[in-house]
Amino acid sequence: MATIKIIDSLTQFLSRKKITIQCHNFPDADTIGAGFALWRYFTDHGIDTRLVYGGSHVISKSNLCMFVDRLHIPIEHVADDFRADGLLITVDCQYYSSNIEHIEADEVLMIDHHRQGENIEKITGSDIRCFSCIKEQYGSCASVVYQLFQKSNYSMSLQTSTALYYGLYMDTNEFSEVRHPADREARDELVFDDRIFTLLKNSNLSPEELRQAGASLQNYDSRGRLAVIESVQCDPNVLGMIADMMIRVENITTAIVFNRLSGSDYDPEHSEIYKFSVRTCVGEVRANELAELIVAPRVNSVRIGGGGGHRLKAGGRVSVELFARYLEETGSDFTFNDYLYQVFEEYSSAAKIIYSDNYDLNELLPYAERYEETEYVMGYVCSTEIAEEGRHLLIRSRFGDVREKVSPDLYIMVNGRGDVVTVPRKEFSQRYCDCAGPLNMVEFSKYDEPRIVIDQSGRKFYLKDKLHCCTFRQPQYVWVVPIERLGRPVKLVDSKWASSDFRFGNISDYLIINEKNPSEITISDPGRFRAVYKKTVR
């Protein structure tokens, strides 16, 4: 039985004699850029290194061909029987996953930013040596590689830095989906060749790809806020671009674009697949969850496909043969188009959606009981304890960046989950008072922990090291709704923290509503609920 060892540095692999770096099938800019940066790193350290990808599809999209050509990226397309000699590194993908050609290897390192799946069971059931650096919250694999380079004190060339920057740019939809602090730091700190980047940025579609996208968009079908498009034949990477265009249409908030491909890149036993791409722009829908639900049905214990991705963008494939057998077993006569609508309807109705700034409190009160919040410790610091008055601060946390000017009137507060807010001194003095603590913050990785960047000087430090402890001056009363009383899970779209995503409440969790300010609504798990709240006696 194999175990997977988590790593946060590349230096331990510098003793290897040979390394193969593998990008996923249908390579995109992120896997190519991150793979090339790793190739450069190990090559610079004198290691015999190859950069490869498999599958039947050869890189052909115009901007990717230009990317490879202008930065002289030595990526090779290899045959199905290729075997790695030495360490195999999978980049922007994971060993045994459905979006990667299987390459035999005795030792594997997975560097990725996607959620782990059933492939982990295959790895642990094998006898390979396996390492991983998987950051599911990151927006791109380029950011994962950049942080590894930072940890390894590796000084990148302009060529390497440009490759990572372009990979991040493309995988975060031109930086519009940059959320995690690691992505924001990579965006802000990577130095790039402006001439090459500008050329790549403005060469995203060839004339033929533009024609394909236009023809596909003419055939869209929409029901409610979901649009489904069966695309004309095109490079699979174009599917995502069509979906990106579709969600810019008025009243369309989720789009699924698919086409039917022959000569599957994933499973030689099935000659045809439906390749699909999912995009969304609303907080109550996660593209990766929708993609996983599309491929979830099984035929003889085998999933009909494989899929995944991130909150706003995802994709996958479905075997045409297995889908037909699934329809036969269930007695259904859906087209694939109709099937996608059915899956979306099931997904949308599986949980109750609550928007923190727009919900009916009276609808929840029949299920609620009044509780008091016991002493709840938070951290705080006056901004003048951090920097000189008048300096600009960038407060960076997992929910976003906040820019403020240092002033005696500006207080920065952090709760145990790492949420950061700023409040005026007067409000702080009225609502809070010092306490002994301690502040029990959740454990963060280095790049998740809230921190301060002082503009101009670029100095960085972690907020936790500067905090004092405080608690409420007056008892805080809340309404508590056991989610099980609502009969289904809850998706809480919190406009104050992350309106482009939701917090999920299981049946066993609790909704916590501030009695005086109902827009302050959150979800608590049973352990935290028992520790923080006590029922009031009337």
Round to whole Å and give the CA distance between 324 and 302.
13
Segment 457-478 mean pLDDT: 85
Report pLDDT for 264: 46
**Lowest mean pLDDT segment, chosen from 154-158, 203-207, 512-516:** 203-207
Dist CA 357 CA 349 (whole Å): 21
pLDDT given at position 263: 60
Closest CA to 414 of 451, 461, 387: 451
pLDDT of residue 32: 98
Is omega for the bond preceding 438 within 30 degrees of 0, making it cis? yes
The 378-382 sheet, strands edge to edge: 420-424, 410-414, 378-382, 468-472, 432-434
Structural tokens at position 265? 């890149």
Tell me the pLDDT of the chain averaged across its residues. 90
Phi-psi category of 215—alpha, beta or left, where left has phi over 0 and alpha has psi -120 to 50?
Answer: alpha
- pLDDT tens per residue across span 32-45: 999 999 999 999 99
pLDDT, greater one: 168 or 441: 168
Residue 243 main-chain phi, psi, to 5 deg: -65, -40
281 or 419: whose pLDDT is higher? 281
**pLDDT tens-digit readout, 188-238:** 999 999 999 999 998 878 888 888 888 888 888 889 899 999 999 888 888
| Type of residue found at 399 | F
CB 412 within 8 Å of CB 420: yes
Q: What is the pLDDT of residues 396-420, one digit of tens each?
A: 887 778 889 999 999 999 887 788 8
What CATH number does the domain located at 5-202 have?
3.90.1640.10
- Residue pair 140/171 in contact by the 8 Å Cβ criterion: yes
Would you give the DSSP letter of residue 437? Answer: -
Instruction: Pick the more confident residue, 61 or 342.
Output: 342
Question: Does the structure show a pLDDT above 80 at 257?
Answer: yes
Measured distance between the N- and C-terminal CA atoms of the chain, rounded to whole angstroms = 58
448 in Cβ contact with 179 (< 8 Å): no
Dihedral pair phi/psi, residue 272, rounded to 5°: -130, 145
Residue position matching structure tokens 């995502």: 240
| Residues sharing a CB contact under 8 Å with residue 214, sequence separation 6 or more, in sequence order | none
Helix axes 181-189, 158-171, angle to 10 degrees: 140
Three-state secondary structure call for residue 385: helix
Write the CA distances from 280 to 205, 288, 303, 305, 312, integer angstroms. Answer: 21, 10, 24, 21, 5
- Phi and psi at 58, nearest 5°, equal -95, 145
- How far from 418 is each of 208, 385, 526, CA to CA, in Å? 48, 19, 19
Q: Domain-by-domain residue ranges, the chain?
A: 5-202, 207-350, 353-372+475-535, 376-471
| Least confident stretch, 12-21, 48-57, 307-316 | 307-316
CA-to-CA dists, residue 100 to 27, 208, 265, 272, 304, angstroms = 10, 27, 8, 17, 17
Residue 538: CB atoms within 10 A of its CB come to: 4
Pick the more confident residue, 114 or 500.
Answer: 114
| pLDDT of 267 above 50 | no
Quick one: average pLDDT of 370-379? 87
> What pLDDT does 268 receive?
47
pLDDT reading at 447 higher than 70? no
Q: Kindly tell me if the per-residue pLDDT of 12 is higher than 80.
A: yes
* Distance separating alpha carbons of residues 332 and 342, to the nearest angstrom: 12
Cα–Cα distance, 352 to 282 (Å, whole number): 15
State yes or no: pLDDT of 464 exceeds 60: yes
Residue 270 has pLDDT above 60, yes or no: no
Q: What is the DSSP letter of 485?
A: G
Backbone angles phi, psi at 96, to 5 degrees: 75, 5
Domain 207-350: which CATH number of 3.40.50.1110, 3.10.310.40, 3.40.1280.10, 3.40.50.1100: 3.10.310.40
Give the integer Cα–Cα distance in Å for 162 and 70.
Answer: 11
pLDDT at 446: 60
> How does pLDDT run across 72-94, given as a tens digit for each residue?
999 999 988 899 989 999 999 99
User: What is the amino acid identity at position 39?
Assistant: W
The whole-angstrom separation of Cα 309 and Cα 340 is 17
Q: Is the pLDDT of residue 137 over 80?
A: yes
The yes-or-no verdict on residue 348 having pLDDT over 80 is yes
